[in-house]
Amino acid sequence: MAHGRRAALPPGGFVPTERLLDCVHCGLCQTACPTYLTLGTEADSPRGRIHLMRALQEGRLTLDADAVGYLDRCLGCRGCETACPSGVAYGELIEAVRPWVEARYRRPLPERWRRRLIVRALTTPRLLRALVTPLRALDRLGLLASGRALAARVVPGARLLPTSVPPRAAPPSAIAAGDARAAPVHLVPGCVMPELCGDTVRSTARVLAANGWRVIVPPAVGCCGALALHAGERGAALAAARRTLDALVAAAPTDDGPPIVVTAAGCGAMMKGWGALFTEDPARAAAAASVAHRVRDATELLASRPLRVPAALPPRRVAYHDPCHLAHAQGIRDAPRALLAAIPGVTLVAMEDEDLCCGSAGHYNVMQPAMARTLVARKVAAIRASGVDLVATANAGCALQLAAGLRAAALAIPVRHVVELLAEAYDRY
């Protein structure tokens, strides 16, 4: 391509061409890519996908089922970004190409509806609640395991359901915790977390309060838009992000508002990069940039100040799994490990491939169940080889995926979020 055209976004293109040319094809990212490691095919590698994106953008390749398949199989884990010495912003490329694909490629009807239903169910709290409530009832009757096995025959994603469904997170006013005179923190529970991972939300509030924060859940905060964006639904992502951004701005209109804490790695990565989503809405882009610098993962905020010393837990050898959107997208690796190491009784044990994706990746494990199962099996083998008693992670989606993988392998090793272990330790006082 002529250099004179490089800075411009070609008509119908999804990203300025120069961004695709950042890749020098060195291949140093290949072995950090879970799909390449599994399939060994160039087109299922970061370099191959960038090559494919460029060919699509330049009109040299037809957008057919094969091309879409290679892009769909990408987890968006951004392991390749960490490995790339040339600073290729792969995450931005894949997030730009996905809505472009959805606008141009007509998926078969059943697939179209399946994708739509998954995103709607996960991001519409009322719908998710309607689906989860019967599961909770089955759990109370002791029938959840057989219900899950039955459902998994029809919907593969049902295997991810936890062995028990914790009560949903309390309404915002009841989550609020901490001394009224303490420094405030704004907690964003998200869309899926309050329904499926209420324990993590409650533990986060308790641990923050135990460390001198006053936890406030601003009214009307909900979905950040990440799950819709990962499915290429840019309009739905924008609508959700706009609602939560406006609620956060209403709760703290100035730049020096309190820290905003999220408990899901994907939400943190999304909200820290919200500015790029609002390119056509300059006022909101400015608000998003101002909010973004206040966003912290729960582990990031807790590790940034001296931690209240936790009580001892029963001695356990613990492996830590890095959530991709925490390690690769936000560069947060040390904070969760430091929190774990601060709990008396916890011995951190190194594990192979700690920062390789487990296959959870937002809704990837439901959209691409076969690849997700292969990836979690690799993870389970590493957990087994490490000889640990417990696996800790800092993202509820990873915890569900790892627990499902361990259950499938008949390994009785629990998986806990770091804040849940801290809450358990504080409860022992």
Part of the chain binding ligand SF4 (CB under 6 A), chosen from 27-35, 167-175, 262-270, 309-317: 27-35
26 binds ligand SF4 (CB under 6 A): yes
323 binds ligand SF4 (CB under 6 A): no
Residue number, 66 or 427, with CB nearest to ligand SF4 = 66
User: Binding residue for ligand SF4 (CB under 6 A) from 28, 89, 239, 307?
Assistant: 28
Residue number, 299 or 368, with CB nearest to ligand SF4 = 368
- Closest distance to ligand SF4 from the beta carbon of 376 (Å): 14
Task: Give CA 93 to chain center in angstroms.
Answer: 18
- Closest distance to ligand SF4 from the beta carbon of 328 (Å): 8
Residue number, 44 or 424, with CB nearest to ligand SF4 = 44
Residue number, 84 or 138, with CB nearest to ligand SF4 = 84
356 binds ligand SF4 (CB under 6 A): no
- State which of positions 145-184 bind ligand SF4 (CB under 6 A): none
Alpha-carbon span 266 to 227, nearest angstrom: 8
- Closest distance to ligand SF4 from the beta carbon of 309 (Å): 38
3-state secondary structure the chain: CCHHHCCCCCCCCCCCHHHHHCCCCCCCCHHHCHHHHHHCCHHHCHHHHHHHHHHHHCCCCCCCHHHHHHHHCCCCCCHHHHHCCCCCCHHHHHHHHHHHHHHHCCCCHHHHHHHHHHHHHHHCHHHHHHHHHHHHHHHHCCCHHHHHHHHHHHCHHHHHCCCCCCCCCCCHHHHCECCCCCEEEEEECCCCHHHHCHHHHHHHHHHHHHCCEEEECCCCCCCCCHHHHHCCCHHHHHHHHHHHHHHHHHHCCCCCCCCEEECCHHHHHHHHCHHHHHCCCHHHHHHHHHHHCCEEEHHHHHHCCCCCCCCCCCCEEEEEECCHHHHHHHCCCHHHHHHHHCCCCEEECCCCCCCCCCCCCCCHHHHCHHHHHHHHHHHHHHHHHHCCCEEEECCHHHHHHHHHHHHHCCCCCCEEEHHHHHHHHHHCC
User: Binding residue for ligand SF4 (CB under 6 A) from 13, 14, 19, 47?
Assistant: 47
Alpha-carbon span 352 to 381, nearest angstrom: 9
- Closest distance to ligand SF4 from the beta carbon of 392 (Å): 22
Part of the chain binding ligand SF4 (CB under 6 A), chosen from 33-41, 163-171, 172-180, 229-237: 33-41
Strand partners, 262: 188, 297
User: Binding residue for ligand SF4 (CB under 6 A) from 13, 19, 20, 49?
Assistant: 49
- Closest distance to ligand SF4 from the beta carbon of 22 (Å): 7
Count of C-beta atoms within a 10 Å radius of residue 154: 7
The structure tokens listed for 334 are 């040390």
Site string for ligand SF4, 56-95 (x = CB under 6 A): ------------------xxxxxxx--xx-x-x-x-----
Residue number, 49 or 148, with CB nearest to ligand SF4 = 49
User: Binding residue for ligand SF4 (CB under 6 A) from 14, 15, 43, 46?
Assistant: 46
Residue number, 78 or 337, with CB nearest to ligand SF4 = 78
The structure tokens listed for 314 are 């029963």
Contacts of 179 (CB under 8 A, 6+ apart): 209, 212, 214
- Closest distance to ligand SF4 from the beta carbon of 70 (Å): 10
Q: How many residues bind ligand SF4 (CB under 6 A)?
A: 27
- Closest distance to ligand SF4 from the beta carbon of 53 (Å): 11
- Closest distance to ligand SF4 from the beta carbon of 386 (Å): 23
Residue number, 76 or 268, with CB nearest to ligand SF4 = 76
Part of the chain binding ligand SF4 (CB under 6 A), chosen from 28-36, 59-67, 334-342, 414-422: 28-36
User: Binding residue for ligand SF4 (CB under 6 A) from 5, 25, 140, 305?
Assistant: 25
Residue number, 50 or 392, with CB nearest to ligand SF4 = 50
Residue number, 74 or 390, with CB nearest to ligand SF4 = 74
Rounded (5°) CA angle 213-202-240 = 90
Binding site for ligand SF4 (CB under 6 A): 23-29, 32-35, 46-47, 49-50, 74-80, 83-84, 86, 88, 90
